[in-house]
């Protein structure tokens, strides 16, 4: 079905992005999975292709494009089974913090490099002992002249090995040790003394994505790297969650599209019991149900994207999307893999990657149990 959300310019951009995925990412992706990291050169190459921070203003070197361009990047990576190249995190989850809250001096210092790929972005909130519970954030920063001195640790940080600009949530008010008050955001340049990376964490999926620990030991961060106002960090983080959860839902829907596509191709060719697998009633009914779920999720998201771009508050709706679409994605991958039989359990078949990569979707960006709690609150419960 033709999706009305896209115009001619969007479709031209999709062709560019799709070709980049097919010619530059897919041929190398298994190697990146084995290394658990995407080469830095690929970020620079993506920058040269105009695939980094497309919404950035032209005066910094950006395209000043609308959010749908970012959506296309997400969809092509996820639908073609290469989601470990975490461009959406850089473009649409972390970069908006700079776009919204950085001052002009900071924007001029950081944004051009984010567009070229010289700067790779990460956001560090999650901590080993408290998870993503920002109210009990333990990483502290105290003011010492023209610097903040940061001490603490973070974990599960995506882009953690490659990132050289990290938006770090810290507690700058020691008088509120268990409160959202006094949380600030510092942009830490990773060559700063006192900053160190931990190991590249082993995961069951998203093997090409570098996910790391980070440590801060008397790390002296210039005061000029404070993002926005001191003590306003919790508010900034909450304001950014709508887009973050929408981004995750878009990727989940696109991955479901990809899983359905490779399965349709397989069952039309696979011979079984004297016919093709696609002619058997169980296969036909299963894929009819799967295709319906995929269509419903994508249609819902297309509407939400337009409403998000119009500036609507969509806490309930994006929570619904993140929860329902991510669970739909995993169910689709599970049911499609079953139709491959034993071959579905083999890494050489792309459906296996859709399956293992899909498991994290209901966990990160706010677990789906949290999404249900937010939905219930919005319902007045």
Active site residues: 244
Are 264 and 287 within 8 A, CB to CB? yes
Length of the chain: 381
DSSP H helices in the chain: 8-20, 26-35, 40-48, 67-79, 87-88, 95-101, 104-116, 233-269, 281-309, 315-339, 350-358, 368-378
Which backbone phi and psi does 158 adopt, to 5 degrees? Answer: -70, 145
Are 250 and 299 within 8 A, CB to CB? no
Under 8 Å CB-to-CB from 113, ≥6 apart: which residues?
Answer: 119, 165
Q: Which residue has 């002009």 as its token pair? A: 104
Q: Dihedral (C-alpha) 65, 66, 72, 78: value to the nearest 10 degrees?
A: 110
Cα three-residue angle 132-133-136, rounded to 5 degrees? 130
> How far, in whole angstroms, is CA 319 from its chain's centroid?
15
Q: Which residue has 């609308």 as its token pair? A: 66
Report residue 62 as tokens: 């950006």
Query: Strand 195-200 to strand 211-222: parallel, antiparallel, or no bridges (unpaired)?
Result: antiparallel
- DSSP secondary structure of 28-42: HHHHHHHHTS--HHH
Q: Quick check: helix, strand or coil at residue 272? A: strand
How many Å apart are CA 158 and CA 156, to the nearest integer? 6
Which backbone phi and psi does 185 adopt, to 5 degrees? Answer: -115, 125
């Amino acid at each position: 079905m033709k999706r009305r959300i896209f115009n001619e310019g969007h479709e031209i951009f999709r062709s560019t992005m799709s070709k980049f995925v097919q010619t530059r990412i897919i041929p190398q992706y298994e190697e990146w999975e084995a290394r658990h990291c995407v080469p830095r050169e690929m970020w620079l190459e993506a920058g040269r292709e105009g695939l980094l921070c497309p919404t950035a203003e032209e005066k910094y070197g950006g395209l000043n494009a609308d959010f749908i361009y970012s959506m296309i990047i997400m969809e092509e990576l996820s639908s073609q089974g290469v989601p470990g190249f975490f461009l959406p995190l850089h473009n649409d989850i972390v970069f908006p913090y700079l776009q919204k809250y950085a001052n002009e001096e900071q924007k001029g210092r950081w944004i051009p490099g984010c567009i070229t790929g010289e700067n790779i972005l990460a956001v560090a909130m999650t901590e080993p002992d408290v998870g993503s519970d920002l109210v009990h954030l333990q990483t502290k920063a105290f003011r010492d002249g023209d610097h903040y001195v940061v001490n603490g640790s973070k974990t599960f940080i995506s882009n953690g090995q490659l990132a050289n600009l990290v938006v770090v949530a810290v507690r700058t008010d020691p008088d509120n040790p268990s409160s959202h008050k006094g949380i600030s955001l510092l942009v830490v340049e990773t060559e700063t003394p006192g900053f160190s990376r931990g190991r590249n964490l082993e995961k069951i999926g998203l093997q090409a994505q570098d996910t790391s620990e980070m440590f801060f030991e008397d790390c002296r961060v210039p005061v000029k790297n404070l993002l926005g106002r001191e003590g306003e960090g919790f508010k900034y983080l909450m304001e950014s969650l709508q887009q973050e959860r929408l981004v995750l839902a878009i990727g989940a829907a696109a991955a479901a599209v990809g899983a359905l596509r490779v399965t349709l191709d397989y069952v039309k060719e696979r011979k079984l019991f004297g016919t093709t697998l696609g002619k058997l009633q169980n296969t036909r009914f299963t894929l009819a149900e799967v295709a319906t779920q995929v269509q419903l999720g994508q249609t819902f998201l297309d509407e939400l994207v337009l409403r998000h771009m119009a500036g609507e508050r969509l806490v309930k709706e994006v929570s619904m999307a993140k929860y329902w679409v991510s669970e739909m994605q995993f169910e689709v991958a599970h049911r499609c893999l079953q139709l491959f039989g034993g071959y579905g359990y083999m890494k050489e078949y792309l459906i296996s990657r859709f399956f293992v990569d899909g498991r994290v979707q209901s966990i990160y960006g706010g677990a789906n149990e949290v999404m249900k709690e937010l939905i219930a609150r919005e319902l007045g419960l």
